[in-house]
Structure 1
Amino acid sequence: MPHLSRRLRAALLATASLTLVAAAALPDPEPLGIGDRLFPELGNPGYDVLAYDIAFTYHGSNTKPLDAVTKIAARTTAPLDRINLDFARGTVQGVEVNGRAADFGSRNEDLVVQAPRRLPAGVPLDITVRHTSDPAGTAGNGGWIRTADGLAMANQADAAHRVFPSNDHPSDKAHFTFRITAPKDLTAVANGLPAGHTRHGTTTTWTYRTEHPMATELAQVSIGRSHVHHHTGPHGLPLRDVVPAADREKMEPWLKKTPAQLEWMERRVGRYPFESYGVLVADSRIGFALETQTLSLFGKSFFTEPAYPEWYVDSVMIHELAHQWFGNSVSPATWSDLWLNEGHATWYEALHAEESGGVTLERRMREAYKLSDGWRADGGPPARPDAPAEGEKLSLFRPVVYDGSALILYALRQEIGESAFDRLQRAWVRVHRDSTATTEDFTRLASGIAGRDLTAFFEGWLYGEKTPPMPGHPDWRAAQPAATP
């Protein structure tokens, strides 16, 4: 996610935006979390989600709530009397647990459900929540984003639960099925592969399924007057690009680049890890791009702004594509591991920019080195970033997790050599495919491939207040951070 600007802490919205209907109110609902250092109340203990089946009904207006049913297939990992789900925007009309109606309540951004009986560890858990999904009031908060002709999703980092009830932490990946009903003159798309669409009078229901597990923050549903362009990538990979129908011809020169970009990435890290890929162009004033799984999101202006040189647009497309390996297939076990996502995506962005006529990698890394101490002072070291500012969740996405983290990879390549570094990149996405991984996993794998203990090297680069000396460049100097007034 290279360009940002959204997200507001929903603490004050929590009670107002989650409305409970019917069922008896659950006494004293308690918000829980899995203790993530940066988002302590995100995620929920006691169960592992295996699959989501989410049905949305869009009524033709992107200012009105969608009707929705979220079905969650899970397995308990500890005895449970109550089940906590992350959910913050919408009206909950009813909840069932293992086929029986359940009482529920809310607290902060948690929907708390009473189990019909005490559930032991290791048993199936099927949850059905009938609810609305409200795009109103989400501007800047993440979740639904309004487009000129409908909606799309931008859930990073903690906003999927503003769209649907979930265990909203990347450590609990699951398979997804989406069923989107919309007026027949609109097109709905979602992650994964299409599984058919059915016309019902004035509406159409579109179904999509993922073949690989996905973190909730990477979910994508787009509804609008869209053109879907199907073509083929390396090894017969299905490609589909989704663009505003009126801009079809204008977007085509950019979308034609995707097969070659996939080939470029595969030469460096191995086979693309998912069942399909494509670009989703939203007619919206979003100031960012986002690596939603199998369908990367871009604002239309990114491709139409004449001030952006071609090499720059290409390199950011590579950034989001690289995330399909780094961040999507291999997801962070905690949000402090974000540097593994953004550092690697920025690394390949920089390599491609150099090859396409942009600034050279060495020059970009030397500039990053000069600024690195200031970035660390402002936002913490790459693998222990400061918590986002209150009311500004996207302040987590600071320069230190982009170029500041790519700088670590540059230093690592200098330290262990280009051949070992390339083997590490390929091994990382192969060993941890479809899973989550930690910074400790990366340091362990790097040490194994290098044939020596790199703990001390990584300690300084990942956690130090000051940037260590750059291997091979003793003349590089970090600028003195500006004094805080």
Structure 2
Amino acid sequence: MPLVRTPLPRARWLRSAVLVAASAGLVAAALPAPAPLGIGDPLFPHLGNPGYDVLAYAVDLTYPGVNTEPLATVTRIDARATDDLERLNLDFTHGTVSAVTVDGLPAAYTSSGEDLVVTPVVPIDEGEPIEITVTHTSDPGGPADTGGWVRTGDGLAMANQADAAHRVFPSNDHPADKAYFTFRITAPSELTAVANGLPTGRVTRGSTTTWTYRTRHPMATELAQVSIGRSTVVHRTGPHGLPVRDVVRTADRELMEPWLRRTPGHLEWMERQVGAYPFETYGVLVADADTGFELETQTLSLFERRLFTEPAYPEWYVDSVMVHELAHQWFGDSVSPRTWSDLWLNEGHASWYEALYAEETAGKSLERRMKAAYAASDGWRADGGPPAAPRPPAPGHKISLFRPVVYDGSALVLYALRQEIGTEAFRRLERRWVADHRDGTATTADFTALAGEIAGRDLTAFFRAWLYEAKTPPMPGHPDWRSHPAQAARTAPKPG
């Protein structure tokens, strides 16, 4: 049988010729000046990048053993071009790049704003696979409130929401472009490294150990998690044999156990509400750090140690906050927002199940909490915009996006919806939502369309008023409830 040679894509076929031509001075650059790009997110206009779809990340980190020094890092990105590209942008800042290759060939690169602008040897064709490798540092220095690496008492963890993953590794840093992840973390052998997903290998060479983790489901960059420290990984089993692993300071192993052992019960409770847990593992990462928030990093939620040790926090409150972050694994992690204006779908649902759990297990009235939220709702909307049209975060303070209106102000929308369509229809909606959009992204319009389908009637006017109006509409079933704008002075929560 004769040998049939498959033609290579045009751009790949040209690369050798272009390299020769370039070395002879025959190729001249004619591109416009590099500039930061974005995918048009109304809240973060330069976040994400057009022209390609990331399929997988492989992030190799070498930790020097001191959490104030940069980590030597190599990030490989496997992507597919969705347009013809003469150059491509990656989101990346707060690190030093020493080399970039595209499909194994050296590429030119420069920085513009918070973008790393890469110019391959020849243009990339639409539909062509792309392998981009960036050799760089990942710097844990800088102000703690900017996100990215979090310095803990014994090492590092990550807090990348909403737009800080690109302070750690080059990426298409927007939840609209989810991808699979592999992390390889090399650290001194006396430390433990943990990341999203499940472990796939551990190799010790001399005084260092390399730990490898992979996700089985696609993940948004803002949900990436790597923990390095003097930690113990506590294993137990959740519903249906689910591997549950918690990560705590070794010195806190016994202190944290009364809290850690609650997770299987939390999982069972959430599964009764919305169906099967959507990922391959779950657990709690307790960091010795003062972040001011908890965070739903995928398969391994980040918590401040102080949440579990501060006597002023009642037991029911801590319990419900743990459920809040767990609920995010369905709402925000498995079903991710298409734009950051869809954030209410994440935080409103997590706050809803937090409140519902507190009512069922600790007698904390959901109706009373929603009535209080209603009283403050007009003020919250005045301060931060309506739930599905939030105002952009304050300049230099991006975390200010996480205002009360996206927490209890958005849970209030779900309470109104349950009042409007009935409890059974609401439960069917919740289960359908997480099943239909599992491992994907979705919008407010997707949610409102599904709600109308399940209710069997047009809910356009209902959602327009509840999601987009400056004033809170009347609460179905509670015409006596009143909103008082002056009550909006409550301190805004932070991500979680």
User: TM-score interval w.r.t. the shorter chain?
Assistant: over 0.9
The one-character-per-residue Cα deviations of 1:27-72 (angstroms, maximum 9, x if unpaired) are 8321100010000000000000000000000000000000000000
Q: Is the 8 A contact 2:149 2:168 kept in 1?
A: yes
Match in the other structure for 1:125: 130
Q: Give the TM-score of the pair, scaled to structure 1.
A: 0.94
Which residue is equivalent to 1:68? 73
What amino acid maps onto 2:273 in structure 1?
A: R
The reply on whether 1:280 has 2:314 as its aligned counterpart is no
The CA deviation at 1:91 is 0.6
Could you tell me whether the CA contact under 8 Å between 1:168 and 1:217 is conserved in 2? yes
Tell me how far apart the structure 1 counterparts of residues 49 and 436 of structure 2 sit (CA, whole Å). Answer: 26
Task: Identify the residue that residue 209 of structure 1 maps to in structure 2.
Answer: 214
Structure-2 residue corresponding to 1:382: 387
Contact 1:80–1:115 under 8 Å retained in 2: no
Partner of 2:7: none
- State how 1:455-470 maps to structure 2 within 5 Å: 455-470=460-475
SS at match of 1:67: strand
Q: Using the alignment, how far apart are the partners of 2:339 and 2:390 within structure 1? A: 12
Task: Give the RMSD, CA atoms, in angstroms.
Answer: 1.3
Q: Which amino acid aligns with 1:331?
A: S
Q: 1:450 aligns with which of 455, 461, 467?
A: 455
What are the Cα deviations for residues 363-392 of structure 1, in whole angstroms up to 9, with x where unaligned?
Answer: 000000000000000000000000000111
Bigger RCO of structures 1 and 2 (CA < 8 A, at least 6 apart): 1
Q: Look up the SS of the partner of 1:254 in the other structure.
A: helix
Contact 1:81–1:115 (Cα < 8 Å) also in 2: yes
Q: CA deviation at 1:359?
A: 2.6
* Structure 1 unaligned spans of 5+: 1-24
Which position in structure 1 is the counterpart of 2:230? 225
Structure 2 match to 1:31: 36
CA contact (8 A) 1:138 1:144 kept: no
Quick check: 2:355–2:366 contact (8 Å CA) kept in 1? yes
Give the partner amino acid of 1:476: W
Distance between the aligned counterparts of 2:198 and 2:32, measured in 1? 42
Alignment of 1:78 onto 2:83: yes
State how far apart, in whole Å, the 1-side matches of 2:124 and 2:261 are.
52
Q: Is the counterpart of residue 134 in structure 1 residue 160 in structure 2?
A: no
1:95 and 1:34 map into 2 onto residues whose CA distance is 23
Verify the 8 A CA contact 1:138 1:145 in the aligned structure 2: no
| Residue 161 of structure 2: aligned partner | 156
Change (3 A) 1:483 1:220: closer
| Aligned residue identity for 1:472 | G
Check the 8 A contact 2:380/2:488 in 1, yes or no: no
1:439 and 1:240 map into 2 onto residues whose CA distance is: 33
1:132-157 CA-partner distances (Å, limit 9, x unpaired): 00001141100000001100000000
Select 1:355's aligned residue among 316, 340, 360. 360
- How far apart are residue 358 of structure 1 and its match? 5.0
Paired residues, number: 460
The secondary structure found in structure 1 opposite 2:35 is: coil
- Structure 2 segments unaligned to the other structure (5+ residues): 1-28, 490-496
Q: Are 1:271 and 2:256 an aligned pair?
A: no
Q: Residue 296 of structure 2: which of 291, 296, 316 is its match?
A: 291
Q: 2:261 matched to 1:256? A: yes
Q: Aligned in 2, Cα 1:480/1:134: closer, same or farther, shift over 3 Å?
A: closer
**Letter of the 2:281 counterpart:** S
CA distance in 2, matches of 1:481, 1:75: 51
How many angstroms does 1:409 deviate by?
A: 0.2
Q: Tell me, in whole angstroms, the C-alpha distance in 1 between the residues paired with 2:121 and 2:162.
A: 32
Is residue 420 of structure 2 the alignment partner of residue 415 of structure 1?
yes
Distance 1:292 1:83 in 2: 28
Match of 2:188 in 1: 183
Task: Work out the CA distance in 2 between the residues paired with 1:192 and 1:258.
Answer: 17
The amino acid that maps onto 2:223 is L
Distance in 1, Cα, partners of 2:356 & 2:454:
22
CA contact (8 A) 2:377 2:488 kept: no
1:17 aligns to what?
none
1:116 counterpart SS class:
coil
Deviations 1:202-259 (A, max 9, x none): 0000000000000000000000000000110000000000000000000000000000
Mapped partners of 1:74, 1:365: distance in 2 = 44
Paired position in structure 1 for 2:344: 339
2-structure distance, mates of 1:28, 1:180: 36
Inter-partner Cα distance in structure 2 for 1:254 and 1:483: 33
- Which whole-Å deviations, capped at 9, do the CAs of 1:291-317 have from their partners, x for residues lacking one? 000000001010000111110000000
Q: Which residue of 1 aligns with 2:406?
A: 401
Deviations 1:293-350 (A, max 9, x none): 0000001010000111110000000000000000000000000000000000000000
